[in-house]
Structure 1
């Protein structure tokens, strides 16, 4: 999606805010002993109350309203009977559509008191996302995003999952210009058009390099290869001459 009118921008901001409210409500509701299906129901309620539909369901017939990934799972985790425990690393990914416009957001959390390494990974995962967002500017190379995030990751001794990319969003869940690397990629030659809508979502890890299918009987859930803790933070943004407009904020 490329924003060309104020009406389009307002619709994008509206669905972005709904996604953000659902993300924050789910994070606040998390507690040891609840299942990921119960947590998903919190997100479902927010979407329905605001007249939005789950983008994964609409687009892919995904078996859940949101994606909830726990510990070894790094993306596209299916809500279900898994029980959350103190210290779990939980990723909440909310994408939705309203009035024909899509937005996408996500964040990772340590539930309660957990491993200090995971707390630090979450802190730096969020910083990696904002490092990428600060590189957004209409007319600038798309590669600037991956270069900035890669520099941050290298300085901190982290790795980046290199087959889970940012992507265009707006007219659909996965929209033009397709995948956008959140790691250094010399082959990336495109530039950010004014009004271009896309996500910034690096997957920062303590050693992971690639995402792989969790098991033969689960076509959705992804895990890190090699196995390592991984966090994802994601905002939907609009490229402007003054930088990024972030639309997936709850306030």
Structure 2
């Protein structure tokens, strides 16, 4: 399977934001402009995550997705506050290609299966936000504010068995720190499930992307700070990875 490089846009009140370890968010711009830029920069796909995840923010999220779908050729993955198959349907109708279900995937054990059966597994991503490492790692819900007793590997296996088409694995401890992905957990999860795994949280330079793609079986690397701050972009990232003989999708 070809590897992917995926920018992540965190949204709040219709604006892009970026924080560190799921807190201290600051405004990083207009998502409409970012969509146009990433579309021109050979991103494999684009992820929108609404961190507000409220009924009030849902309208803004749907509008952003609808606008992005009209001017983008990238696949669009969208998440944040998805609690029902109706929510999934609304986002897919707005133009999303895939929908991320995170908190509700744990709170409502039948939701992943129901969404996969209704819309197809390829449309359903199960999100896992976690803190800690090794055997002590635990999954957290509601944007990192509610702890659970679930271990990321066990939960990923359960989600895959329920029909999730991909796993979106996000390390809260490394979010925004730009010190590299949690390669140990990424490897454990990718080896444990038969579906693609997207790793997120920690990318600070292109070598971090290469390490994840070369040293683990993850299918994609997702980045926010790497592309938000500085002059890095997907074109340069893909060129760097190609020079290391990492197989990437041909986009043009």
Q: TM-score, normalised by structure 2?
A: 0.31
Q: TM-score, normalised by structure 1?
A: 0.31
